[in-house]
Homo-oligomer: A and B are copies of this chain.
Amino acid sequence: MPQAKQFRLAEIADLLGAKLEGDGDIIISGLSPLSSAGEGQLSFLSNPTYTSQLANCQASAVILAEKSANSFSGNRLIAQNPYVTFAYATQLFAREDAVVAGIHPTASIAASATLAEDVSIEANVVIGEGATIGAGSRIGAGAFIGRDCQLGESVRIHPNVVLYHDVTLGDRVIIHSTSVIGADGFGFAFDGERSVKIAQLGGVRIGNDVEIGAASTIDRGAMLDTIIGDGVKIDNQVQIGHNCVIGKHTIICGCAALAGSVTVGEYCIFGGGSGAVGHITVADRVQVSAMALLSKSVTEAGMISSGTLASPTPEWKRNALRFQQLDSIAKRLKNLESKADS
């Protein structure tokens, strides 16, 4: 196990650009939520709902906003945005495996591939003809990098990821295990009897600072490319159809699915399990609720939902059966209103 990391509190304050109030010499060796933090641990208060937990909090120090400073009597790191400062703090304590630059002897690398000098290529990796791997990048065990893929600098590909041919990744892209980028889009022309395959001739272009979770799939374009903008964050088991264009900094939560040719704006959030039918456009800063389905374009920022609320099944069933009569109910109501008016 890599040695657990340790920092003096003053050192952390310095690294995070936070104002230290208290004893800078105490040693911090990890992070924990307010309710479970103990000796040697740093915690944070971001959501004011939890302010009351500060009273009994056993953390050795807490990151919090100026306005909440008086609510905690222990060591404090004062930050403008405590949640963001906490995020940077987690990065200090990350215990990734040491990256050893070099190429594992079991890797199969095409002669025409171009690898920066300090890359790390792990066991059983396969890299195709003409592929380029940028400086500081790390390709996890069993990953497959197809022909002519271009990976930027400091890219992190986790084990068993597959990139089909002609996939381009920017710098600092992270792709988690078993995700597949660039498989054929789902395109067929029906000839009346059977489905004729439409060869998928486009590629996939992914910007800088994109993170893609585990077991997600982003299909290559049919003729043009599928495009994922800078800073987009995609969770696990997300499906992005061919020729989607996802705007910068959009967030797509787990199990969400976009059909083909969906154009999504910047700073959108697709909730878990949400979806969009094909060929629609979604404006900037649209937020789609969990398991909601967009079946037409959304032209303005705002939150969108569909579905019904959960209830005990017998109650739900009575209401769901009535849903089947809803048009008739509306008409009967209108009829009664006419009578009442006459």
**A304 B310 Cβ-Cβ under 8 A:** yes
Which residues of chain A (50-64) have a CB below 8 Å from chain B?
Answer: none
Of A6-14, A20-28, A70-78, A141-149, which stretch is located at the interface? A141-149
Question: Using an 8 Å CB-CB cutoff, how does the interface string of A316-334 with B read, 1 for contact, 0 for none?
Answer: 1111111111110110110
Which residues of chain A (200-216) have a CB below 8 Å from chain B?
Answer: 200-201, 209, 211, 213-216
Given that A189-B87, A196-B88, A308-B306 are known contacts, is A158 also in contact with B178, CB under 8 Å in the complex?
no
Report B-chain residues with C-beta under 8 Å of the C-beta of A190: 84
The quantity of this chain's copies bound in the complex is 3
Q: How far is the CA of A303 from the CA of B144 in the complex (A)?
A: 40
Most buried by B among A122, A130, A253: A253
User: CB-nearest residue of chain B relative to A162?
Assistant: B177
Residue A15, interface by CB 8 Å? no
Q: Which size class do A's interface residues fall under? A: 35 or more
**Which among B84, B180, B288 is the interface contact of A214 at CB below 8 angstroms?**
B180
User: CB-nearest residue of chain B relative to A188?
Assistant: B233
**B308 A309 Cβ-Cβ under 8 A:** no
Known: A108-B141, A340-B340. 13 other contacts (CB 8 A): A32-B224, A90-B201, A90-B223, A97-B129, A108-B124, A126-B141, A176-B184, A178-B180, A273-B275, A306-B311, A309-B320, A309-B323, A311-B324
